[in-house]
Structure 1
Amino acid sequence: MSTFQDRERAFENKYAHDQEMVFRAVARRNKKLGLWAAGLLGKTAEDADNYAMEVIRADFEEAGHEDVVRKLLADLGAHADEALIRAKMTEFLTEAKSELSEG
C-alpha cells in the first residue's frame, strides 16, 4: 500500500470518527435539553427520562436542529421562549462536547 493510500485512509477514518463524535454530542445535548425541559414541566424522574428520549427522537425528523426547537417551544409554552431554548442548546452542547472529550 502506498503512502498516499495510507494517508487517504487515515483522513477517512478521522472524518468518520469526527462525525460520530458530533452525533454523540448532539444526542447528549438533546438528552440534557429534555431533562431540563422536563424539570420545567414538573415531570417525575421516570417521566423526565422518557421525555428526554422524545426530544432525542425529535431531532431525527429533519436535518438541522429546528425540529428540536419546535418541539420544545410547543411543549414548554409559557415556561421558556425560543431565545432561552437556543441558549440552553448552546450551553448543553458545550457541556456534552466537554464530557465526551474527557472520556
Structure 2
Amino acid sequence: MIPVWAWILIWTVLALALLGMLAWFAVRLFRKLMGTLGALEDLGDQVAALDLDTMPPRAAFHPAVFQDRRELSLAREQARIERVLRRAQRRDLSVSRGKLLQHTPYKPEDRPPC
C-alpha cells in the first residue's frame, strides 16, 4: 500500500501539470487570437479599398406626357451618356476588385505560428 504522503505528492504534481498545461494553452490561444485580429484588420483595409459606395442615387420618375419633345430627347441623350459612364465605372470597379482578389498580398510565410 502507498503511504498518504505519496498520494498527496502525486496529486500535487498532477494539479501543477494541469495548471501548466492550461496556461500554455491560454498563451497559444491568445497568440492565435492576436494573429487573427491582425489579419481581420488587414482584410478590413482591403475591403475599404474596394470603395463599394460609388453608385449615385437614381432620380425620381417624372411622367413626360406634357413636356417638349426636344427637352425629352436631350434628357434621354443625357441619361444614355450617364448610363454609359456608370457602366464604365462599374466595369473599372469590377476589374480592380478582380485584380485585388487574384493578387492578394497574403503569403503563407506571413501566417502566425501555431
Q: Which has the higher helix share?
A: 1
More relative contact order in 1 or in 2 (CA 8 Å, sep 6+)?
Answer: 2
After TM superposition, the score normalised by the length of structure 2 is 0.37
Which of the two has higher C-alpha Rg?
Answer: 2
